[in-house]
Structure 1
Amino acid sequence: MKKRIASLIISVCLCITAALTVKADTTADKQTALDGIYIENVNISGMSEEDIDQVVQAKIDELSQCRIELYVGKHGTTIMAGDLGLFAKDTKIARRAVDLGQRGNVLERFETGRQMKKGPLVLEIQYQVDQDKVKSMIADQCSQLSHPAINMSLRREKDGTFTPIPGQDGAILNEKKAVKTVMNFFSDEWRGGDAQITLDADIKPAQGDENQLSKVKDVLGESSTDYSSSLANRRTNIENGTEKLNGKVLYPGEELSVLESVTPFDEESGYAAAPSYEMGSVVDTYGGGICQVSTTLYLAVLRSELEVTERFNHSMLVNYVKPSMDAAIAEGSKDFKFKNNTDAPIYIQGYASNGELGFLVYGHETRDRENRTVTFESETTKTTDPNTQVREDSKLPFGQKEYRDGHIGKEAVLWKIVSENGQETREQVNESTYNMTPNLTSVGIKGGSTEAIKKLENAITANDPERVDEVLAQYQSASLPKAGSDEE
């Protein structure tokens, strides 16, 4: 009896299994999604796999227009999600949608059916972006968002008081981490819509507080020079360069590069073409005259007894300060740098108007001004007078001369003299060498005879001015018309 019951149960189970198998085979032949299935908010009931793929792509196209704001610190840029190559991470989502409730084992299909009785079954698209496009975007656009810290600063008011100006932290983008952050955001968090992403960055805190800046009250050193005789373009350059340095604040230990502060020397930066020294000659360059700005600041820095870390003299003497008191700057070769070696911030005030250029350095005075004085003395140790150099000029008519004055050469030393409580000490600040340039005489050869030019060239090669004059006298007198001729 028990055997017969067991056989009956087995037979029933086999029948049920067969029936379910037939049902599965029948439904598996259906190539459209069952009723009540959605891709996000789109009803795909009765749709084929191809139709569902189009639904997914339409969703990608729609969301590609979403605005994504990317931030490095407080600096940001906006792109579209599509710029990053947005796509569906699950490339077989359409196939899965069609298979729901129609393929798989008995328990899977049973569970799907049970869920669908409760309400629509919604499939979420998992989004992703192209890693290569993310890397490119980070490198090309977001790296420019990195910014240095802007330290708390000061503004000098008309009444002579100082007003604190808030600073701003800096942020330097970490490109490798930023790429990972963007990739993870789209794959794990984003479900569409506009969004903001804060990219990974190394934060550089701004320096300064009101307590530090409140110490800035005293004039540590000052200097002025005259530029009233300068041409208009040179005046423009002096006033423009001074304005770029005016208001600079340096914290203890901080170094200032004057060259970095006033460059680039171009029209867009407010400079004009004016005379400057270049390779032993005077030529017009953008920013000509800027060295008077760096020189005037140099003297104020010396009198403030700040630490000079880099300084160059001019190649030739300048007329607005004594030898060894200058500080030349030139893109790519010369800079003037100094460091704040005091216990408080310093503030640089610069002015240039009515032909007077000046700088004042404000800070916290700790020196004994009553019993201690500091002066600077220029000592010339060698002088070289210009010699005379003769050269030919093929553009000038034969025998015509043009003259250009040279420059005296000098070697000089700058001394710092400190008098304190009746005791005097002398310390060498710098040593400077200024090149001599010759007095130049250009002699024209254009239109002269072959013989005359050859003799003149020989005299010029020998750099013999007297012989040059003899040749010119010989051939110029020979070319004069005879008395009584038609050419008289």
Structure 2
Amino acid sequence: MADNKNKGKNGNRKKIVYIFLSIVVLIMFSLLSAIVSLALIYKDSIHSGISIEDIDIGGLSVVEANSRIEGNLLNYLENDKLILKYNGDSWKFNSKDLNIKYDFLKAVNDAYLIGRRGTLLDRVETMIDLVRRPYSISLKSSVNTEIINKILTEIENQVNRPSLDAKITRENGKFIITKEELGLRLKRQETAEAIKEQLLSSGFYDVIELDLLVENVTPKYTFEKLNQVKELMGTYTTKFNTRSRGRSYNVDMASKSINGTLLLPGEIFSFNSIVGPRTTKNGYKTAPVIFKGELVDGIGGGVCQVSSTLYNSVLMSQLGIVERVNHSIPSTYVPKGFDATVSYGVLDFKFQNILDVPIYIESFTKENRITINIYGKKVNNRTIKLASNIDKIVKKDTEIIFDDTIFEGKKVVEEKGRNGYKVSSYMFIYDNGKLLEKKLLSKDYYRPRKEIIKKGTKKRIDKQPDNEEKLSGIDTNN
């Protein structure tokens, strides 16, 4: 029994010694670990398990790490980074071309700070985690918008292609239409945004391949649109005196200017914009023009006959009048109330295409006539008649001036006067001969002109007989 008790006591002592030694070893290990950890935490180098773009920089100082990163990655800046493609062509750019900046030093500083933030426990946990899961830092890039825009400007010059309008001409009474050609246009803003987005989200080693965003450009006039111009909508003809050569020449010049004009739905025609300034430089000649109610010589005389003829053709076509002014005196080539005067920079004649199809203006002179036809697409079979009514004749005033250089009983018309008129103009719309509408177009006033007459007051002197009378057969000496 005594032996058993001694054995039991010895076993307990061994256990106590074992436990004590274990505690001492544990304390020593913990102290050693703490010392090692502290040494590692506060060492002046980047912790192990950290890399930048797959380049290991663990154990290196900031300066050493930055040197290693630049030495390994700078050459990659000359490799292709961006490849733009379109229609079999490609444009290649490296990081230097794009002026992409990578902040190597910032990445190294970020790497140095890993495991050096938070409490001591946080730092130890970070170091332990780096052993199990190494951490790689990706470089951040900056994009130069100005360089991207410059690149796209150069590409635009190679990609962009202007569109070509369809054309319509009238020859021998028929329309001839040539088809349009679509243009190409780089969608510059959208492409630039796509490039920036791809560059900012890409990795350092990634090569971006991007298709250029290009759109078709449809021209203003297409075959489909112009092919709707088929029917004569309205026509009007006026006569001019071919003996007035300057005036006839001007009429023909202005007529040719508006011939072939196209107006899409909603567009407004401006006579002054189409014909341009009536100057000698532009080929116009001197001819009588109306100025302040008087006929005087001026450059471009006769052009108003073209605008007036066009006005009537527009009315016959039932298009929308935007701007129209009557002359100060009635014209001889159109009825009162149906003239349209123009003066460049002052008075214009404008009308609008209110249809849903284009219209085409044909204007030409032949012999002593100018004819203007407007083609489009009729919406009905109605017929138009134009008429005006003289609401009032404004009698001219007469001024008598007595002149002592003119003999009594004689008179001279110094300035020939004329009556004025107040006129209402109407459009009559018929359908199968039945009047549907009487439409007031305008109320115009043509000013009267005073007539000035000079009457003579100079006295006539009658012829007197001779003072000496010769008496035949009388002897005066007696």
TM-score normalised according to structure 1 size: 0.53
Contact 1:151/1:207 (CA < 8 Å) preserved in 2? yes
Change (3 A) 1:344 1:42: closer
Q: Tell me, which stretches of 5 or more residues in structure 2 are unaligned?
A: 1-20, 47-58, 85-97, 117-125, 150-159, 201-206, 402-413, 459-478
Question: Matches of 1:346 and 1:378 in 2, distance apart?
Answer: 27
In the alignment, residue 299 of structure 1 is paired with which amino acid? N
Question: Matches of 1:325 and 1:243 in 2, distance apart?
Answer: 22
Q: Tell me, which stretches of 5 or more residues in structure 1 are unaligned?
A: 45-54, 56-62, 69-85, 135-144, 391-402, 441-463, 471-488
In the alignment, residue 3 of structure 1 is paired with which amino acid? I
**Count of matched residue pairs:** 362
**Which residue of the partner structure matches residue 407 of structure 2?**
none
**Which residue of the partner structure matches residue 410 of structure 1?**
421
1:377 pairs with one of 357, 381, 387:
387
Contact 1:153/1:166 (CA < 8 Å) preserved in 2? yes
In the alignment, residue 217 of structure 1 is paired with which amino acid? K
1:256 and 2:230 aligned: no
Question: Matches of 2:64 and 2:417 in 1, distance apart?
Answer: 97
Q: Per-residue CA shift, 1:249-287, capped at 9, x if unaligned?
A: 444xx3533347526537799574766545556678876
Change (3 A) 1:364 1:101: closer
Q: CA deviation at 1:296?
A: 0.9
**Which residue of the partner structure matches residue 188 of structure 1?**
197
**Which residue of the partner structure matches residue 63 of structure 2?**
30
**Which residue of the partner structure matches residue 58 of structure 1?**
none
Contact 1:310/1:338 (CA < 8 Å) preserved in 2? no
Contact 1:216/1:363 (CA < 8 Å) preserved in 2? yes
1:316 pairs with one of 329, 334, 343:
329
**Which residue of the partner structure matches residue 95 of structure 1?**
105
Change (3 A) 1:417 1:266: closer
1:433 and 2:445 aligned: yes
Q: CA deviation at 1:347?
A: 3.0
Contact 2:69/2:104 (CA < 8 Å) preserved in 1? no
**Which residue of the partner structure matches residue 141 of structure 2?**
125
Question: Matches of 1:435 and 1:150 in 2, distance apart?
Answer: 50
Question: Matches of 1:185 and 1:418 in 2, distance apart?
Answer: 59
Q: Which runs of 4+ in 1 moved over 6 A?
A: 86-90, 106-111, 113-116, 149-153, 195-200, 203-209, 266-269, 282-287, 403-407, 418-426
1:358 and 2:378 aligned: no
Q: Per-residue CA shift, 1:445-468, capped at 9, x if unaligned?
A: xxxxxxxxxxxxxxxxxxx9669x
Q: CA deviation at 1:18?
A: 0.8
Q: Per-residue CA shift, 1:85-130, capped at 9, x if unaligned?
A: x98788xx2531563755543769979x9789xxxx9846311448
Q: What SS is found at the alignment partner of 2:257?
A: helix
In the alignment, residue 161 of structure 1 is paired with which amino acid? F
In the alignment, residue 32 of structure 2 is paired with which amino acid? V
1:155 and 2:155 aligned: no
1:15 pairs with one of 36, 47, 51:
36
Change (3 A) 1:185 1:378: same
In the alignment, residue 23 of structure 2 is paired with which amino acid? K
Q: Per-residue CA shift, 1:36-57, capped at 9, x if unaligned?
A: 436975479xxxxxxxxxx9xx
TM-score normalised according to structure 2 size: 0.53
Q: Per-residue CA shift, 1:409-460, capped at 9, x if unaligned?
A: 33333344567777678654432212235579xxxxxxxxxxxxxxxxxxxx
Question: Matches of 1:96 and 1:265 in 2, distance apart?
Answer: 68
Contact 1:256/1:339 (CA < 8 Å) preserved in 2? yes
1:265 and 2:274 aligned: no
**Which residue of the partner structure matches residue 260 of structure 2?**
246
1:3 and 2:12 aligned: no
In the alignment, residue 67 of structure 2 is paired with which amino acid? L
Question: Matches of 2:271 and 2:291 in 1, distance apart?
Answer: 17
Question: Matches of 2:367 and 2:74 in 1, distance apart?
Answer: 74
Q: CA deviation at 1:163?
A: 2.5
Question: Matches of 1:184 and 1:422 in 2, distance apart?
Answer: 65
Contact 1:126/1:187 (CA < 8 Å) preserved in 2? no
Question: Matches of 2:104 and 2:416 in 1, distance apart?
Answer: 88
In the alignment, residue 314 of structure 1 is paired with which amino acid? H
Q: What SS is found at the alignment partner of 1:359?
A: strand
